Amino acid sequence: MNAYVDTVESPAGPLAFAVDEDGALIRLHFVESDHGSVMERDLEDEGYAVSTDKIRTSGVREELSEYATGRRTAFEVPISFAGSDWQKAVWLELTRIPYGETRSYGEIADSLGRPGAARAVGRANATNVLPLVVPCHRVISADGSLGGFNGGLHLKTRLLDHERQVLGGRGADEA
């Protein structure tokens, strides 16, 4: 298995990301996260041969750059989910949260037909290796507080602020 890595700037600082041979996004990592994990090492631990290929990563790089400048509110790049059926269901549901909006962990659980599974939604969020594209930053606690975020609450705040600012600068029909 091959993984091709690249970096791009974002409202939450530099992002490192990796795509597979077909150009599907397999990993995204906030370089300034609270966790010292090195994406390349994690990929190698999973059996990937890691290299660079700007052509293979160009589609993802372009969409992430468009998000960073406020020109993109939804991602179209192919993504590759690796997880349990529950995790995949949660992650897919996260992709349905509109840009600039939030949902609570309980609301996500309810939408998946699992009322009372808010903590399980939180655990699935914590294992999301495609943050931003699978927008776990848009999931908050029922009381309106930010809850958790794998990269750190400072990054979650930056992303939510970015989306609000972009929406504030254009009409609703343009978003």
- 2-68: CATH architecture: 2-Layer Sandwich (3.30)
- Domain ranges in the chain are 2-68, 85-174
| Residues, the chain | 175
Q: Is the pTM of this model over 0.95?
A: no
Per-residue pLDDT of the chain (175 residues; tens, 9 = 90+): 999 999 999 998 899 999 999 999 999 998 877 555 688 988 999 999 999 999 999 999 999 999 999 999 999 999 998 899 999 999 999 999 999 999 999 999 999 999 999 999 999 999 999 999 999 999 999 998 888 887 788 889 999 999 999 998 654 444 4
Q: Among this protein's residues, is 103 annotated catalytic?
A: no
Catalytic entry in 18, 19, 108, 136: 136
- For residues 175 and 12, what is the distance between their CA atoms, to the nearest angstrom? 20
- 85-174: CATH architecture: Orthogonal Bundle (1.10)
The three-point CA angle 165-153-93 to 5° equals 75
Helix, strand or coil, per DSSP, at residue 174: helix
What single-letter amino acid sits at 70?
Answer: G
Q: Supply the pLDDT for residue 170.
A: 56
Q: Supply the pLDDT for residue 175.
A: 43
Q: Helix/strand/coil (H, E, C) string of 8-48?
A: ECCCCCCEEEEECCCCCEEEEEECCCCCCCCHHHHHHHCCC
Q: Supply the pLDDT for residue 61.
A: 96
Phi first, then psi, for residue 30 (nearest 5°) are: -75, 115
